[in-house]
Amino acid sequence: MIGSTAGTSGDLIEDYLDRLLVSLSGSPRQVRHTLAEVEAHLRDAVAEGMATGLSEDAAQTQALERIGPVHVVAGRPAVLTRPSAPLLRHLVLTAGLVGSAGFIAIGVAGIVGRFLNAAKGNLFMTPPFPPGTYSRADCARWLAGDPHTHSCVTAMLADHVGDFFLQAGACAVLGLLGLAAYLFLRRRWRDRATQTVLPPGTAQALGAVLAGLAAIVCFGQVADAENVKHGIGAGEPLSLAIAATSATAVFALALRQKVRSRTS
């Protein structure tokens, strides 16, 4: 019955049945029978509602309100319990996608920073330490790393900018490794329970929100550097802000595509 009456993508009944499937306990036969019985009841209720003049969406909503929440039908209390294996797998995939994208974005910030550094110089990228906050040993170490200058501040700035680029490159490598692990696990965990335990687009929505917040924070640091320090040290947060904004756009486009494919 389930296969023959499957609704179109975006069907509220289908969404309800997906969530019920991963919530039911018992033998496979019991799960199939329960799912078939619930679907038949819902389809009949929708047909009755449409016969009284309701639209299909309104009839589905009414049918779902009558039958009750998933945890009631499944016979489970709506309390926090140990997460199911499908939920844990989905959370791992979400963390893998969002985390690897974040590290890759930092790597992109390093590339953006190199262009900004070439155009504006080290002083734009990072502010120097205030006088008296570093020792002669620190100064000697910085000068040893930049033998082309005799200025401690110049060598300090070069060292700090070099560290930023090095860390950004390391983050890019970690992000690519994380993305490879995510793609491997996504191919391995293609079961329906893992795919439907959370709404489609959850990872993309989370990524867009986090990247957007990061962009706002970084742009705030840029504004502070411009207003208080006349642009000194604005380069690093600006490069991070540009990368975070790009990540926000990518996640938003991916979310939009998920929603479109869900409703088409």
pLDDT of residue 218: 97
pLDDT of residue 5: 40
**3-class DSSP assignment, residue 193:** helix
Helix, strand and coil in the chain, % to nearest 5: 75, 0, 25
Domain edges within the chain: 12-73, 87-263
Q: C-alpha angle with apex 126: 121 to 132, nearest 5 degrees? A: 120
pLDDT of residue 264: 59
**3-class DSSP assignment, residue 11:** coil
Q: What is the pLDDT along the chain (264 residues), one digit of tens a residue?
A: 444 344 443 478 888 888 888 777 777 887 788 888 888 888 888 888 899 888 888 888 888 888 888 777 776 554 444 557 888 899 999 999 999 999 999 999 999 999 999 999 999 999 988 887 778 888 888 888 878 888 888 888 998 999 999 999 999 999 999 999 999 999 998 877 787 778 888 999 999 999 999 999 999 999 999 999 898 999 999 999 999 999 999 999 999 988 887 665
Identity at 16, one-letter amino acid code: Y
Q: How many CB atoms lie within 10 A of CB 131?
A: 8
Cβ proximity of 146 and 155 under 8 Å: yes
Write the burial class of residue 8 (CB in 10 Å: 0-12 exposed, 13-18 middle, 19+ buried). Answer: exposed
Q: What distance in Å separates the CA atoms of residue 242 and residue 169, rounded to the nearest whole number?
A: 16
Nearest to 67 by CA among 110, 120, 19: 19
Give the global pTM. 0.69
Write the burial class of residue 135 (CB in 10 Å: 0-12 exposed, 13-18 middle, 19+ buried). Answer: exposed
HSE, CB side, 13 Å, CA atoms: give it for residue 119.
9
pLDDT of residue 103: 98
DSSP H or E run through 264 = none
pLDDT of residue 97: 96
pLDDT of residue 79: 45
Q: Is the dihedral of CA 69, 73, 74, 76 positive or negative?
A: positive
